[in-house]
Chains A and B, each alone.
Chain A
Amino acid sequence: MTTPLIEMKNIEKHFGAVIALGGVSFDVRPGECHCLLGDNGAGKSTFIKTMSGVHKPSKGTIMFEGKEMSFNSPRDSMNAGIATVYQDLAMIPLMSVTRNFWMGNEPLKKFGPFSMMDFKKANEVTMTEMKKMGINLREPGQAVGTLSGGERQTVAIARAVYFGAKLLILDEPTSALGVRQTANVLANIDKVRKQGIGVVFITHNVRHAMAVGDRFTVLNRGKTLGTAVKGEITPEELQDLMAGGQELATLEGSLGGTV
């Protein structure tokens, strides 16, 4: 078994008197898609924010590539090779695809004492990377606002991969998408995983998780309910775990097993 890319041990996070995370452990190996499931308020967002440097854990250790890490800002975790794609905050609609793609990592060229953004390079790379992900842009100057939700997620994923992410955290990338767009995003997650990048895929849709996940960890009320390997757990069992078992079983009965 390969060493984990990231290992989170007994992570706790308290906000004043509220215990958002009460000792969550979790690891991701290179080339693996580890799904993090849980209902709203389970602590998924807080948990990934400790990984991406937005929150500092109150207790617990983060090991990245075998070394203990302490992230003080998103920049720190980004420099280590962790990229996070947030559901609605991935892209800025008024800016062009190129400007979004390079935001925060703009390529520079020297012009005497001035350094300017190298738009020629930026445009070329953007077009090629988009094509690899199956998006044919009309022009790199096209505003992101003209892209569909799925395409925006894909641009964000392509951006993270291009800038050398080793671990990619996707925060509910499929929750607001239609059927075809979801399929596209899931296919792209699969593509990324095959390049040896570790993926953390946050979702509350069991079917999306089952489609690309290698392992599944369920969070409930700030605690891990255990990790399962693909093939050892059925979608129904996952669904029950997410909802905390009992209640959904009764609910599902009345809905005829359609949830």
Chain B
Amino acid sequence: MTDERIKQVSKLRRAMIRPELGAIAGAVLVFVFFMMIAGDSGMFAPKGIQNWTVVSAQFAIIAVGACLLMIAGEFDLSVGSMIGFAGIVIAILSVQWGWPVWLAIITAFVVCIALGALNGFLVIKTGLPSFIVTLAFLYILRGMTIWLSIMTTQKTIIGGVKQVAEGDWLAPVFGGTILKGLFQWFADIGWIDTFTRGSREGQPVVEGVPMLVVWAIGLIIFGQWLLTKTRFGNWIFASGGDAQAARYVGVPVNRVKMLMFMFTAFCACVFATAQVMEFGSAAADRGLLKEFEAIICVVIGGALLTGGYGSVVGAALGALIFGVVQQGLFFSGAESSLFRVFLGTILILAVILNTYIRRMITGER
């Protein structure tokens, strides 16, 4: 029974209802904009590219976790506090207690994933909105982080991680750089500038690809594959789309949500570890507001706040937009507080666009 009242969908319309559409358009706009206003400031020179790539990668790492969790129908507002907490745990264990750095990192991951599981457990068992449960953990973890840090060192910043991480096998997985040879070759053939003075004379200004970027790309590929190609991905969509309907056909909704809370915590810990290894220190105020920035990336990427719809690639593009704008404003010499104005504006625009797209796919009027 074909309904003559339904028009054939045009290719354009089909492209329009992809969740990533808004993010793709946004990314293109942002690049064009900054090429125009900051094209000659070095933003698109190798060093500049590295600069905003790293910032975008940071956003992307937490956005992938937040994205999958949001599609599964839940939020995690404790991501930012978790970042601060994981960093302090690594620093206290390795610097203060003298544990090997690899053991400190693994412990931080175990603790974070366990906290993620606790978040999930409370949400599932109490049936409370995850918004409230994880908001509680936003405060609990931040408070714990500051308290632990003050109690062990009388300070809120713990340095000296770089020294103890020297020669550790796990630390470079988060703080290292790869493809150094390739970048040296780029420098030799003149694609990348080299230092002309100092101890690093002759070395390229960009020494390679930071592991942070490798993690981000790895997580994006994994997340996208998991969501769109696997059975578990179908369960993620189903859990967020309508948990009861999913349960009735045998989808283990509770397990899916629990695992997604744990995955979000894992992503937060990757972020924290990479940051600690890069700076060589941990601070109790790290990760402030990151939970909201992750959610904004996800929403710009086309996910619905109500769950059941979204895209990891979209969230990654959201992270790219974020990174480019944050650093672009810096390169163009604009007042950096304008970044927040931009965030708020783009968030509203993204949500309006998403609501419209949802109406198109579900055919509501």
Binding site for B on A (CB under 8 A): 74-75, 78, 84, 86, 89-95, 99, 102-106, 108, 114-117, 119, 134-136, 138-139, 143, 145-146, 184
Check B231–A115 contact: CB distance below 8 A. Answer: yes
Extra contacts, 5 of them, besides A93-B362, A103-B234 (Cβ < 8 A), are A95-B238, A103-B251, A104-B249, A145-B363, A145-B364
Given the complex of chains A and B, what is the CA–CA distance between A135 and B2 in angstroms? 7
Number of A-B contacts (CB under 8 A): 87
Task: Please pick, from B1, B229, B245, B304, the residue contacting A136 in the complex, using a CB distance under 8 A.
Answer: B1
Given the complex of chains A and B, what is the CA–CA distance between A243 and B277 in angstroms? 74
Check A94–B358 contact: CB distance below 8 A. Answer: yes
Given the complex of chains A and B, what is the CA–CA distance between A150 and B250 in angstroms? 23
3 closest cross-chain pairs (CB), A and B: A145-B362, A92-B241, A104-B249
The contact string, 1 if C-beta is below 8 Å from chain A, for chain B 204-246, is 0000000000000000000000000111011101100110111
Task: Please pick, from A90, A105, A114, A146, the residue contacting B362 in the complex, using a CB distance under 8 A.
Answer: A146
The contact string, 1 if C-beta is below 8 Å from chain A, for chain B 154-185, is 00000000000000000000000000000000
Given the complex of chains A and B, what is the CA–CA distance between A74 and B249 in angstroms? 8
Look across to chain B and name the residue whose beta carbon is closest to the beta carbon of A119. Answer: B229
Given the complex of chains A and B, what is the CA–CA distance between A234 and B350 in angstroms? 59
Interface centre among A78, A89, A102, A139 (most CB of B within 10 A): A89
Give 14 pairs: A residue, B residue, CB < 8 Å, sorted on A. Answer: A86-B245, A94-B361, A102-B234, A103-B235, A106-B231, A117-B229, A117-B233, A117-B234, A135-B1, A138-B9, A139-B9, A145-B361, A145-B364, A146-B362
Closest Cβ–Cβ distance, residue A5 to chain B (whole Å): 21
Given the complex of chains A and B, what is the CA–CA distance between A117 and B233 in angstroms? 9
Given A93-B362, A136-B1, A74 and B246 contact (CB-CB distance below 8 Å)? no
Check B229–A74 contact: CB distance below 8 A. Answer: no
Check A92–B229 contact: CB distance below 8 A. Answer: no
Check A116–B249 contact: CB distance below 8 A. Answer: no
In the complex, what residues of B have CB within 8 A of residue A99's CB? 234, 237-238
Q: How many residues of B contact A (CB 8 A)?
A: 31
Given the complex of chains A and B, what is the CA–CA distance between A136 and B4 in angstroms? 12
Binding site for A on B (CB under 8 A): 1-2, 6, 8-9, 229-231, 233-235, 237-238, 241-242, 244-251, 304, 308-309, 358, 361-364
Task: Please pick, from B238, B249, B362, the residue contacting A143 in the complex, using a CB distance under 8 A.
Answer: B362
Look across to chain A and name the residue whose beta carbon is closest to the beta carbon of B241. Answer: A92
Interface centre among B6, B8, B242, B248 (most CB of A within 10 A): B248
Check A138–B358 contact: CB distance below 8 A. Answer: no
Task: Please pick, from B230, B241, B251, B363, the residue contacting A104 in the complex, using a CB distance under 8 A.
Answer: B251
In the complex, what residues of A have CB within 8 A of residue B242's CB? 89, 92
Task: Please pick, from A91, A104, A134, the residue contacting B1 in the complex, using a CB distance under 8 A.
Answer: A134
Given A95-B237, A135-B1, A75 and B250 contact (CB-CB distance below 8 Å)? yes
In the complex, what residues of B have CB within 8 A of residue A106's CB? 231, 234
In the complex, what residues of B have CB within 8 A of residue A146's CB? 361-363
Check A91–B245 contact: CB distance below 8 A. Answer: yes
Check B231–A89 contact: CB distance below 8 A. Answer: no
Task: Please pick, from A74, A95, A138, the residue contacting B247 in the complex, using a CB distance under 8 A.
Answer: A74
In the complex, what residues of A have CB within 8 A of residue B247's CB? 74
Given A94-B309, A134-B1, A138-B8, A74 and B248 contact (CB-CB distance below 8 Å)? yes
In the complex, what residues of B have CB within 8 A of residue A93's CB? 241, 362
In the complex, what residues of A have CB within 8 A of residue B234's CB? 99, 102-103, 106, 117
Given the complex of chains A and B, what is the CA–CA distance between A162 and B230 in angstroms? 21
Look across to chain A and name the residue whose beta carbon is closest to the beta carbon of B237. Answer: A95
Given the complex of chains A and B, what is the CA–CA distance between A108 and B233 in angstroms? 12
Given A116-B230, A117-B233, A90 and B1 contact (CB-CB distance below 8 Å)? no
Given the complex of chains A and B, what is the CA–CA distance between A135 and B1 in angstroms? 6
Check A89–B230 contact: CB distance below 8 A. Answer: no
Given A93-B241, A94-B309, A117-B231, A104 and B246 contact (CB-CB distance below 8 Å)? yes
Given the complex of chains A and B, what is the CA–CA distance between A92 and B251 in angstroms? 13
Interface centre among A94, A95, A105 (most CB of B within 10 A): A94
In the complex, what residues of A have CB within 8 A of residue B2's CB? 136
Look across to chain A and name the residue whose beta carbon is closest to the beta carbon of B309. Answer: A94
Check B246–A103 contact: CB distance below 8 A. Answer: yes
Task: Please pick, from A74, A89, A91, A115, the residue contacting B250 in the complex, using a CB distance under 8 A.
Answer: A74
Closest Cβ–Cβ distance, residue B188 to chain A (whole Å): 38
Given the complex of chains A and B, what is the CA–CA distance between A194 and B230 in angstroms? 35
In the complex, what residues of A have CB within 8 A of residue B358's CB? 94
Given the complex of chains A and B, what is the CA–CA distance between A108 and B246 in angstroms? 19
Check A92–B230 contact: CB distance below 8 A. Answer: no
Check A92–B231 contact: CB distance below 8 A. Answer: no
Given the complex of chains A and B, what is the CA–CA distance between A146 and B6 in angstroms? 10
Closest Cβ–Cβ distance, residue B302 to chain A (whole Å): 12
In the complex, what residues of A have CB within 8 A of residue B309's CB? 94
